Amino acid sequence: YDAEIPSSWGLIEWEADLPEGTIIQFMTRSGNSNEPSQTWSDWSPPYQNTKGEQILSPKARFLQFKTIFKSQSGRVSPEIRKVSLFYLQTNLAPQISDLQILPPNVVFIKLPVQEDQVFGKQNDNDQNTDNNSQTSALAMAKKSERKGFQTILWEAEDENNDALIFSVFIRNNQEDKWRLLQENITDKIFAFDTVTLPDGVYFIKIQAGDELSNPAGLTLTDEKISKPLVIDNSLPVIGQFQAVRNGSKLSVSFITEDSFSRIKEVKFLIRPDVWRVVFPEDGICDSKQEKFNFTLTLKPGSDDLITVKVTDAQGNVGVYRSTFLNHQ
């Protein structure tokens, strides 16, 4: 018998028909190789109490038994109907194999429900979803955006097939203390509103425990720490702005800056035209401060108001509006 994991053995018991003058005995041996070899234990002394006897073979992954049928006359034989073996697997710690931090503001919406619900949101009452149903539901969920939300996904398993429960912690990179965000999570997803935390660089820690399937003193845990997570809810700012018109030409210059995140995209709008992307002087938006200096040709009938929209890597949007200054 393959217990899959090294195990401690309990009772062996059996049900049998024993005509007068017949005896049944059992013997066991154990080992950790798929086929019995010299590494296995010797055969145990015979067991013959049908109500059950403690298996004497050493702790191992595999157990083999043999049955001895004895008959005084040789004309009748005992008959076995059922054999039962009891064992307890060695408890192995759960393993968190993967930890993902989704882009900021990305959430999964549960479907179908009366109203939108965010997967993994704190104080979510539906915490009894098993792994298979959660995976299926998540695959069918609608990906959406919620400003300020951060979603975390992870994978975890347990070789004993124990039910797992999770806790989520967060730590600022300037601190040593881990702060508990949520405990007693049975899903492998968690979403939280980052506006409750100061802007900064953080780490997420997921802790998995098997206490739902094991008594106190025998429980085991595993934990995994994420890559750095930037929490930035501050808007990028625009300064040193100038927009000077000379006939049909408009010269625009400004500097945009963000406290924690790189500048991702800058657009401008002059009605009735559409939003136009503009690149910084160095050609690439790749830092927390970018300088812009460009000249454009105004279309006939253009408004005298320019709007600039700056988006940082965390999805925060800063907007600046200015009327043109006529060149003298």
Comparing C-alpha atoms, which of 220, 201, 218 is closest to residue 210?
220
Q: At residue 128, does pLDDT exceed 70?
A: no
Question: Which tops the pLDDT comparison, 18 or 139?
Answer: 18
Q: At residue 6, does pLDDT exceed 90?
A: yes
pLDDT in tens, 62-94: 999 999 999 988 889 999 999 999 999 999 999
For 289, other C-beta atoms within 10 Å of its C-beta total 13
pLDDT in tens, 33-50: 999 999 999 999 999 888
Q: What is the pTM of this model?
A: 0.72
Range 96-115 average pLDDT: 84
Range 147-157 average pLDDT: 94
Cα separations in angstroms, 275 against 236, 267, 300, 309: 18, 6, 17, 9
Q: Which amino acid is at 80?
A: I
List all residues 6 or more positions away from 54 whose beta carbon is below 8 Å from its beta carbon: 9, 10, 11
Query: What confidence score (pLDDT) does residue 322 get?
Result: 92
Q: What is the spatial distance between Cα 289 and Cα 303, in angstroms, rounded to a whole number? A: 29
pLDDT in tens, 222-235: 999 999 999 999 99
Range 321-328 average pLDDT: 74
